[in-house]
Amino acid sequence: MIDLSQLRLEPGAERSVEVPVAVPQLELGGVEYAGPLSPPIARLDVTRTLSGLLFRLRLQTTITGPCHRCLEPASVPVQIDAREYQADHPEPGLEAEEVCDYLQGEELDAGSWAADAIVLSMPHKILCKEDCQGLCPSCGTDLNIGSCQCPPPEPDSRWGALQQLKDDAPEG
């Protein structure tokens, strides 16, 4: 929580504060992901305009959790640059644009804002690497580490022919 009354926001004023925000556990596709143990430092800019308050929140952090394909630990860098506006006198019907949901009286809940922004910025799938081979659907072997003897789920004759050529090639 940031107490705006401490920022002395007279008209035209622009203030920047650095604030640690604890990244909460996130759930993506039923799997839990977490931020770093030590809260990353977010930068909050507050500008007092003639008609209201402009907020800008910037943050860089890393989210870690199991790879979507192979379940090994994976991490993704996350970069947030979010803006909110709170009008002094929001017009009826324009609350979505003119009311900042994270503002309660003089207090801005930067933690909740950061958490929501992180969720929005997350990729659809978190992978340990772009070309992760995942697990064999039949036996669970991590195909990044080794192959298994399971028949491919959908046999492809061209692939089989290629594999045959490879197998017949002399070693070395």
Cβ-contact 49, 98 below 8 angstroms: no
- 148 in contact with Zn ion (CB under 5 A): yes
- 70 in contact with Zn ion (CB under 5 A): yes
- 150 in contact with Zn ion (CB under 5 A): yes
Q: Least distance from C-beta 125 to Zn ion, angstroms? A: 10
**How many CB atoms are located within 10 Å of the residue 102 CB?**
20
- 139 in contact with Zn ion (CB under 5 A): yes
Please identify, using beta-carbon distances, which residue of 44 and 132 lies nearer to Zn ion: 132
- 19 in contact with Zn ion (CB under 5 A): no
Among 78, 80, 118, 128, binds Zn ion (CB under 5 A): 128
Please identify, using beta-carbon distances, which residue of 1 and 148 lies nearer to Zn ion: 148
Please identify, using beta-carbon distances, which residue of 20 and 137 lies nearer to Zn ion: 137
Q: How many residues bind Zn ion (CB under 5 A)?
A: 11
Helix (H) or strand (E) segment spanning residue 95: helix 95-98
Rounded to an integer, what distance in angstroms lies between the CA atom of residue 82 and that of residue 163?
50
When computed from its CA atoms, the radius of gyration of the chain, rounded to whole angstroms, is: 25
The residue written with tokens 């860098």 in the block is 77
- 126 in contact with Zn ion (CB under 5 A): no
Rounded to an integer, what distance in angstroms lies between the CA atom of residue 9 and that of residue 6?
8
Rounded to an integer, what distance in angstroms lies between the CA atom of residue 164 and that of residue 166?
5
- 22 in contact with Zn ion (CB under 5 A): no
Q: Least distance from C-beta 76 to Zn ion, angstroms? A: 12
Cβ-contact 91, 58 below 8 angstroms: no
What are the residues binding Zn ion (CB under 5 A)? 67, 69-70, 128, 132, 136, 138-139, 141, 148, 150
